[in-house]
Every structure is written in C-alpha cells, then in structure tokens.
Amino acid sequence: MATSIELKAERNLINPNFEGYKLSLDKLPVYCTQVDNGTYVTALTDEQFSYHHAKLFGVYNHLVQDPWNLNAVYIIDTDWNIRKAVGHDMSVDCGATVYTIPDASNQQFVVGRCNAKLHFLSADLAVVCDGAGQLYIVSTGNRQENGTDAWKCLISRMLPEEKTPCLLIDAVEHSKEENHMIDCLLVHVIESTPEQKDKYRSQYLTVLEWITFTSVDRKVWTLGRTRQLVSRKPFSYACLDREGHSITIAGEAEFVFTQDSELPVVSDEEKEEENSGPRPPDYTWHQTAEDLSVQFTVAEGVTKGDIYLTMSFNRIDFGLKNKSALLKGNLCGEIDTESCTWTIEGRRVDLYLSKKTEGNWPLVVDGDTRGEMLSEPSEVAAIHERLASLTSEEMNPDPEKSEKPYNTQQLEECDMYPDDESVLLTINGDTHKIQYRIGLGSHQWLFNVTMGENSTPGLCLRHDVDGLLWKQDTGDKSRWKHIATFNAFGYVQASKQQRKFTICPPDYSYSAICDNSKHIYLYRQNIPVATPLRNRKTGQQVNAVAKQQVISLDTTNDILGIQTTNERLFILTKDKLFMIKVG
C-alpha cells in the first residue's frame, strides 16, 4: 500500500507581512543575435486537437541549457543543426554547429511528429530525440574545455517499436556495480481502443515510455529494458529517479504500468481477483449417461428474443445477441440436434443437450473450464443465487427499489466526488506499485524548476497566495523539502492570462513570466534598501522592497524558449536569441 505524505512548509521561508511588488522603471540591458536558419518548430496537425496534445506541445521549451555550463544554451534550427550559444558580459554569440540530427529530410516528414529535444546526461554525454521516433546517445566531449568540438553518435535507436513519434521528457545516467545505465523518459499520445475507452473513459491517452540502455565502457550502448505507463490525463511534472529505481509524476490522474520487458505487470483487475479468492464459475452443468444440462445466470432484463443458438452434431454457439457467447466451441461428444432445446425463467437460462452415444463427458466444450460440474441437481439453485449478484452490467441497476442502500434524491452537490484528484506519485520501477502518494488538493501546480547537474527538477506549487518551491530528497524519496518561496506568486501568475513560460534562477532571487510574445515580467525577492523608506499608509519604516520589472523585446515573433542564470535571462524566438542582464 502506498504511503501517504503531507507537504510541510518551512515557516521561516514564508513572509506573512509581504506588502506586494513595487514597479521599477530601471532599464535592463538587452542584447540580441540572429539565429541562422531559424528555430525548428513542429505545429499541431488537425488530428492533434485533444487536451493531451495541447499540453504536450504547449509547454515545450525550445531553448536548452547546459547544467554543466550555465552560460551556454543550445538551439535546434530548421536543418536540425544543434547550435551552441554563449552569453558574455556585453553580448550573446550564437556559434557554430556542434551536431546535426541525422536523416532530417525523411524524419521531418513523419506525420504527427513531436519537437526535437536535447538533454544533457553528464559533462560529456547527451541524449537527442528527433521527435519522430529516433533516439541518439551522443558523446559531446568535455563541453567546458572543448565546447566547439563536433559531437559523436554512440547509438541510434528507433523507439518505441511501433515507431510512434515521441517527445523526450527526462534522462539520467547512473552506475550499478561495473555497469553504466542511461534511463530515458519519453511521452506520446495515442487514441484509445474501444476497450481502453471503457477502462479509462477518455478518447486519448498519455503514454510514458521508460527506456533503459546499458554499457560497460560508456562507449558501446545496448537497449536493456523497456517499460510503459498510461494515464487518462496528461501530467504537469514527470521525472526519473537519479538512480533509475522509480518515477515521480504529478497530474490530475494516476499513471499505471501496462508493460515491462523484464517483469510481469499485474493489472488492478488481476490484483482484485487474486485477493478475492477463487473465481466463481461462469455456468454449472450436470449429466446422465443419456443427456446433459447446462445452467447460466444472465443479467436482469434479458428475454428469449435476446438469445441465439446455433449448433451441429459436434459444435455449439449459444449466447446473447450482440454480446459475448455463453458457450461456444467443439463439444466433447456428439449430440442429437433435434432433441436439444433451451428455456429461460427469470434470470436463469437452461440448455438441454441429448447425447447420441451413452457415456460421461469430461467437459461440455473441449478446453472450456469456466463451468463447474455438479453431481447433484439440487445444488444448482443455491449456486445460481450467488451468481445473480455478479452478472449485472450496472453498479446499481435499480436505484429506486425499496431495499436501496440510500435515497438517491437526497444527494447534495458536496456529496459528489470528482472523477480525479491532483496527486504527486512516486512509483517503483520494479514492483510497479505506488510507493508514496501526496494529495495536492488545492495546491495548484505553477511551474517546474531545473535544479542543476544531475538533479531531479523542483516543483513550484501554490499554497494560499504564495508559490512554494519543493525538491525531493535524493536519499529519502518520501521527503519533499520546501526550499524557497515566491511571495504572492499564485496571484501574480493567475493575472497573466497570456503567460507561456515561468522560470527562476538557481539562487531563487527572482522569478520570470514571459508572454506568448514580446513581454517578460520579472519579480525580484525582497532586496534591502540603502535609503530610509516609510509606508505611506502605516508610517512604518520599510527596510526591503520587492521589485517588479517589465521588459519589452524588439520582436513580433512568438517566444519559443527561455532559460536563466543568476545574472542572465536567455529568450528565444523564431529567428532571434535575446540575452537580458538581470544581475
């Protein structure tokens, strides 16, 4: 059973007397450089109209930062060249190509493709996904010492096996004994099959692919393991444990394992069957040397017009029209079709078969073990009375009958539970079970935060009016630590209806919200003031001020990506890269 956890805020990180942000007119230096060939962007097709698709494409950040060199950012241009850009004190430089994603002329025409993605694993390794189903592990060399050297592809793999276009979400390198492993997390959206629609109640599903590669020397990599998780709703946060043991996901619905190439996945239905003891028979039957009788219990409301029977001397097909058969297959002996019949009384259906040759049959239908043979016909009534409660197709087919458990007319709106609840889950990759569960409730997701070299991303949630930043403890996965507070940020973000990206630097000294185009809003934490100030209303002396700054970019194109350091903001559009000095 999953362990339920509560998020406990640090009181010393919360300012109950925060008075708001003061608009500052101080200008910030803005530098710009041209992006040759433009930025590669994949647009939604007419078939990608669901909330799942919008969530997948809408939050994509086309600008990638190197955690091992924060002043370096990377861009994928329209020719699938990965270009490195470096921020300097007084300029930003979009330099030479370090790697070209292969087969652009073909892969860029894959229908329903996602955006290409770059993710850094270590100081000398990276993963590249072209969004069309191809994944590459790339040796980058030491990017700090030889940042202009060309990168080398170590392995290329089409994933998943169905060649479904995927978006790379997270990747991590770790070691176990003498083996090196790379875990990659990819996501794609599929249309539900009829069975999945009944189970998940959604036309589309979000699918997470967990792929593991192994190596001995970090040069030759092979595919080791594949796992898959599915949910009826998209996620807001998803990352792998840095040691490859588990996956942590935040969203409006749970994700469940559906596939694992190394270990069997037991579904919830199978777990219930295991815990509920022996499965009751689908039908009962008894026989004499001359004939055989089979009894079924059907759902309430079934009439003789709903039943069909097709048979020959050695085969039978008996069941309900437009539904699954009750009994179908080759009989264990020959019958006299002229002497066979069936009857229905209430919810009980009896099928009578006359044997051509006297003798006992081991089963009614060859290979069908769903039935139970009874030696005494008197046992039939008792067993089918028990089966009657298991054959209804509705949870409560007649809620208004006199013996109903409660009055349905007395239910109030507050008694109706929502279909889903926002949760933060940590799921074990081997047992496929939820280890830790956090009910987010009213703690609205605000944004995710990159935490540096080989660290799990942080998660900013709304608590009352503030935005609280949480980080999972690397040693204890059950512990989430409150590490920073963005004052009144719940109100701030709610007021920005055109917002596209939200971000903060490694020292959490400010937060930034950018619109879909042109405007960047900067919210700085309280900064001590050098000159004495007093509040006009209360007369109290103000020792620190939180400032708000607005930057307007010289562009008409949409903002496609944003990254930040303590001193700089990098903003990417279709054809320009901006650098804003904020420190």
Collapsing DSSP to helix, strand or coil, 159 comes out as coil
Quick one: pLDDT at residue 384? Answer: 58
DSSP per residue, 18-67: ---EEE------EEEEE-TT-B--PPP-TT--SHHHHHHHHT----EEET
Q: What is the CATH number of the domain that holds 172?
A: 2.130.10.10
CATH of the domain at 332: 2.60.40.790
**pLDDT value of residue 249:** 95
No. of helices (H) and no. of strands (E), the chain:
6, 40
Specify if 53 maps to a domain. Answer: yes
**Looking at the structure, do residues 193 and 309 belong to the same domain, yes or no?**
no
What backbone phi and psi angles, to 5 degrees, belong to 269? -65, -40
Cα 380–chain centre separation: 48
What distance in Å separates the CA atoms of residue 16 and residue 499, rounded to the nearest whole number? 26
**Does residue 322 form part of some domain?**
yes
| Inter-residue contact 145 to 126 (CB < 8 Å) | no
Instruction: Take residue 121 and report the two structure tokens written for it.
Output: 């694993």
Side-chain-side CA neighbours of 430 within 13 Å: the count stands at 4
- Domain match, 185 and 47 both: yes
* 62 and 184 share one domain: yes
523 and 563 housed in the same domain = yes
Angle at 582 between CA 579 and CA 583, to 5 degrees: 125
In a domain, 276, yes or no: no
224 within a domain of the structure (yes/no): yes
Other beta carbons less than 10 A from residue 356's beta carbon: 14
DSSP 279: P
Whether residue 191 sits in one domain with residue 130:
yes
Q: Is 468 within a domain?
A: yes
Of 372, 390, 408, which residue constitutes the final position of a domain? 390
| Beta-sheet strand order (sheet of 568-573) | 30-34, 576-581, 568-573, 559-564
- What CA–CA distance (Å, rounded) separates 447 from 435? 24
Task: Please indicate, yes or no, whether residues 287 and 247 belong to a single structural domain of this protein.
Answer: no
Render each residue's pLDDT in the chain as its tens digit; 583 residues. Answer: 678 888 999 999 998 888 889 898 889 999 999 998 999 999 888 888 888 988 888 778 999 999 998 889 999 999 999 999 998 888 888 878 999 999 998 898 888 889 999 999 999 999 999 999 899 999 998 887 655 578 999 988 877 655 678 999 999 999 988 899 999 999 999 999 988 888 888 899 999 999 999 999 999 999 889 999 999 999 999 999 999 899 999 998 999 999 999 988 887 655 555 555 566 788 998 888 899 999 998 888 888 888 989 999 999 999 888 777 899 889 999 999 999 999 998 889 999 999 999 888 999 998 888 888 886 655 555 565 555 555 554 444 454 444 444 444 444 444 443 445 789 999 999 999 999 999 888 788 999 999 888 889 999 999 989 999 999 987 787 889 999 999 999 889 888 888 899 999 999 999 999 998 889 999 998 876 666 666 666 666 666 788 999 999 999 899 999 999 999 999 999 999 999 999 8
Q: State residue 274's pLDDT score.
A: 53
Amino acid at 504: C
Q: Alpha-carbon torsion 381, 387, 392, 393, what sign?
A: negative
Which residue, 349, 368, 390, sits at the end of a domain? 390
> Count of residues for the chain?
583
Tally of structural domains, the chain: 2
Q: Nearest CA to 492 among 477, 479, 478, 510?
A: 510
Same domain flag for 212 and 84 = yes
Residue 532's φ and ψ, nearest 5 degrees, are -65, 135
* Position 159 in a domain: yes
Cα 403 from Cα 8, distance rounded (Å): 46
Which two tokens mark 354? 């006359």
Please check whether residues 560 and 472 belong to one and the same domain. Answer: yes
d(CA 187, CA 25): 42
> 556 lies in a domain?
yes
> Residue 272 domain-assigned?
no
Note whether 456 and 532 are same-domain residues. Answer: yes
| CA dist 260 → 57, 224, 227, 232 (Å) | 27, 11, 4, 19
Domain that holds residue 182: 13-253+420-581
Of 369, 390, 411, the domain-final residue: 390
Give burial (CB, 10 Å; 0-12/13-18/19+) of 567: middle
75 and 190 together in one domain:
yes
- DSSP code of residue 281: P
With contact defined as beta carbons under 8 Å apart, do 88 and 138 qualify?
A: no
Residues 163, 230 within the same domain: yes
Same domain, 144 and 246: yes
Question: For residue 342, what are its two tokens?
Answer: 């069936």
